[in-house]
Amino acid sequence: MAERARGSSSAVTRLGSAREHGGARGPASSSRRWSFGELLCVGALVGVAVAAAVAGRLGELPVMVALAIVTPRLVVTDVSEHRLPNPLVVFAALGLLLACCLDWLLTGSLDVVAIVIGVLVGAVLLLCSVLGGLGMGDVKLGAVLAAAAALVHPSLPALLVFLAVLFGGLQSIVVLACTRDRRRSIAFGPALLAGYWLPVTWLAVSGPV
C-alpha cells in the first residue's frame, strides 16, 4: 500500500509539473508526427516568406521561415489543447534572433525599434495575462510576432495587434453564440498568427513597403 501511495503521489507530482510547463502532451503536441495538411501549410507559408524576401525584405527571411515552419503546429495545438508549446515558440524566437543579426549585417545598423516594440507588446500582453485574459504562451508568441513584424515595418505591429483583437473578438462571439458559456476560453494564438501573416502576405503580393 505504501508503494502504491508513493506511486500515486509521484504521478500527481509529474502531472502538476507537466501542467506548469504547458500541460501534459496530447495527440496534437509538438512531438506528434506532422500531418500532410500541416506540411502543405508549411510549404505555402514558406513560399509567402520567400516572396516577401524577394520583394525587398531579405533580412527578415530567417524569422519568416521559422514562423512558417511552426505556425501550423501552433494553431493545431492551441485549438485542441489551448497551449502553445515552448519548443515551437523558442524556435521562432531563434529565427527572430538570426533575422536581427542578418538585418544588422545587411543594413549596418541594429533595428533597436523592432526590439523595443517586441518588448513593449510583450509587456502589455503580460499585463493582460496577469489580469487573467491570456496565457503565457500567448505573451511569448505575441512578443516574438510583434518584433518580427516591426523588422518589416514599424507600423505593422499595430496592425498585427488590431487584427489579432479583431479575430479574437469574432472567435469569442462565435463561441458564445454556439455554447452560451461566457467562461469558455478561446485559442488566441491563431488570431496572433493571422495578424502577422496577413500583412506579410500582402507585402509578398504588393511589393516593397
Per-residue pLDDT reduced to its tens digit, 4-24: 444 444 443 443 333 333 444
Residue 22 confidence (pLDDT) = 43
Beta-carbon contacts of 38 under 8 Å, excluding residues fewer than 6 positions away, are 72, 73, 76
Q: Do residues 155 and 190 make contact, with C-beta atoms less than 8 angstroms apart?
A: no
Is position 147 within any domain? yes
Could you tell me if residue 66 is inside a domain? yes
- Number of folded domains in the chain? 1
Q: Using CA atoms, how far apart are residues 92 and 71, in angstroms rounded to an integer?
A: 9
Residue 172 cell numbers, joined: 469569442
Q: How confident is residue 209, by pLDDT bands cut at 50, 70 and 90?
A: low
pLDDT computed for residue 100 by the predictor = 93
Q: Tell whether 17 is covered by a domain.
A: no
Provide the pLDDT confidence category of residue 179 given band limits of 50, 70 and 90: confident
For 47-62, the pLDDT digits (tens) are: 999 988 887 778 889 9
In a domain, 21, yes or no: no
Residue 3 CA to residue 19 CA, distance in Å, equals 24
Main-chain phi, psi angles of 109, to 5 degrees: -145, 145
C-alpha closest to that of 76 among 202, 167, 193? 193
DSSP secondary-structure letter at 35? P
Q: Which among 129, 40, 141, 23 has a CA at the least distance from the CA of 89?
A: 141
Query: Has residue 130 been placed in a domain?
Result: yes
Q: What angle do CA 189, 191, 196 make, to 5 degrees?
A: 95
Q: Quote the domain boundaries for residue 109.
A: 33-206
Residue 26 falls within a domain, yes or no? no
Q: What is the pLDDT of residue 182?
A: 62
The torsion angles phi and psi of 165, rounded to 5 degrees, stand at: -65, -40
- Asked if the structure places residue 19 within a domain, the reply is no
In a domain, 62, yes or no: yes
Grid cell 503580393 — which residue? 205
